[in-house]
Chains A and B, each alone.
Chain A
Amino acid sequence: MDMQNDLTLLTLSKVREGLRAAEFTSRELLEAYRARIDRYEPRIHAFLFLNLDRAMEQADQADQKINIWRKNPEQSLPPLTGIPLAVKDVLCVEGLPCTCGSRILEGFIPPYHATSVRRLIEAGAIVIGKTNTDEFAMGSSTENSAYGPTHNPWNVEHVPGGSSGGSAAAVAARFAPIALGTDTGGSVRQPAAFCGVTGLKPTYGSVSRFGLVAYGSSLDVVGAMGKNVADVAFLFGLFAGVDELDATTVNFARPKIQLDDDVSLKGVRVGVPKEYFIAGIQTEVEQSVRAAINHLQELGAQIIEISLPHTKYALPVYYLIAPAEASANLARYDGIRYGPRSEAESMWDIYYHTRGEKFGAEVKRRIMLGTYALSAGYYDAYYGKAQKVRTLIKQDFENAFEKVDVIAAPVAPSTAFRFGEHRDDPLAMYLEDIFTLPANLAGVPGLAFPVGFDRAGLPVGIQIMGAHFAENILFRVAHAYQLTTSWHTQFPEQIPSA
Chain B
Amino acid sequence: MQISCYNLGMSLTPQQVDHIARLARLDLSEEERQLYSQQLSAILDHFQQLQELETESIPPTFRVVQSQRPLRMDVVGPSLPRTRLLSNAADVVDHQFRVPPILE
Contacts and interface: CB of A to CB of B under 8 A. Distances in A.
Interface string A377-407: 0000110111111111010000000000000
13 contacts: A108-B88, A111-B84, A204-B65, A315-B46, A336-B97, A338-B89, A352-B26, A356-B27, A367-B26, A372-B20, A388-B59, A388-B60, A390-B61
Given A319-B47, A388-B55, A352 B90 contact: no
Q: Which of B3, B67, B97 has the most CB of A within 10 A?
A: B67
Interface of B: 1-5, 12, 16-17, 20-21, 23-28, 32, 36, 39-40, 42-44, 46-47, 49-51, 53, 55, 58-70, 72, 80, 84-85, 87-91, 97, 99-102
Interface stretch (A148-156, A181-189, A421-429, A449-457): A421-429
A341 B50 contact: no
A347 B102 contact: yes
Nearest to A428: B2
Contacts of B28: 356, 364
A457 B82 CA distance: 53
A218 B62 contact: yes
A371 B23 contact: yes
Contacts of B80: 111-112
A482 interface: no
Given A368-B26, A371-B24, A427 B5 contact: yes
A371 B20 contact: yes
A382 B91 CA distance: 39
Nearest to A312: B49
B6 to A, nearest CB: 9
B100 A346 contact: yes
A448 to B, nearest CB: 19
A36 interface: no
A335 to B, nearest CB: 6
B50 A317 contact: yes
Given A368-B21, A368-B36, A372-B20, A218 B63 contact: yes
Given A367-B26, A368-B26, A387-B62, A250 B67 contact: yes
Nearest to B51: A385
Interface of A: 107-109, 111-112, 203-205, 218, 244, 247-251, 280, 310, 312-313, 315-317, 319-320, 327, 331, 334-341, 344-348, 350-353, 355-357, 359, 361, 364-365, 367-369, 371-372, 375, 381-382, 384-392, 394, 413-414, 424-428, 430-432, 441-443, 468
B19 to A, nearest CB: 8
B1 A468 contact: no
A347 B25 contact: no
Contact of A337 (B1, B24, B88): B88
A315 B17 CA distance: 22
A387 B55 CA distance: 10
Contacts of B64: 204-205, 218, 394, 441-443, 468
B50 A313 contact: yes
B7 to A, nearest CB: 9
A130 to B, nearest CB: 16
A344 B60 CA distance: 42
Contacts of A430: 43
A202 to B, nearest CB: 11
A165 B4 CA distance: 26
A111 B86 CA distance: 10
A206 to B, nearest CB: 8
B25 A351 contact: yes
A461 B90 CA distance: 44
B71 to A, nearest CB: 10
Nearest to B24: A371
B59 to A, nearest CB: 6
A359 B26 contact: yes
B47 A468 contact: no
A347 B100 contact: yes
Q: Which of B50, B55, B59 has the most CB of A within 10 A?
A: B50
Given A205-B65, A250-B67, A355-B25, A427 B59 contact: no
Given A313-B53, A347-B99, A247 B69 contact: yes
B100 A389 contact: no
Contacts of A346: 100
B72 to A, nearest CB: 7
B97 A337 contact: yes
Q: Which of B12, B50, B61, B66 has the most CB of A within 10 A?
A: B61
B50 A316 contact: yes
B97 A375 contact: no
A345 B104 CA distance: 12
Contact of A431 (B1, B39, B61, B66): B1
A477 B101 CA distance: 61
Contact of A111 (B16, B17, B67, B87): B87
Given A313-B53, A356-B28, A427-B46, A350 B100 contact: yes
A389 B67 contact: no
Nearest to A345: B100
Contacts of B61: 387-388, 390-391, 394
**Nearest 5 interchain pairs by C-beta:** A356-B27, A443-B64, A387-B60, A341-B90, A338-B88
Nearest to B104: A346
A315 B48 CA distance: 12
A367 B27 contact: no
B58 A392 contact: yes
Given A352-B26, A382-B47, 5 more contacts: A109-B88, A251-B68, A364-B26, A372-B16, A387-B61
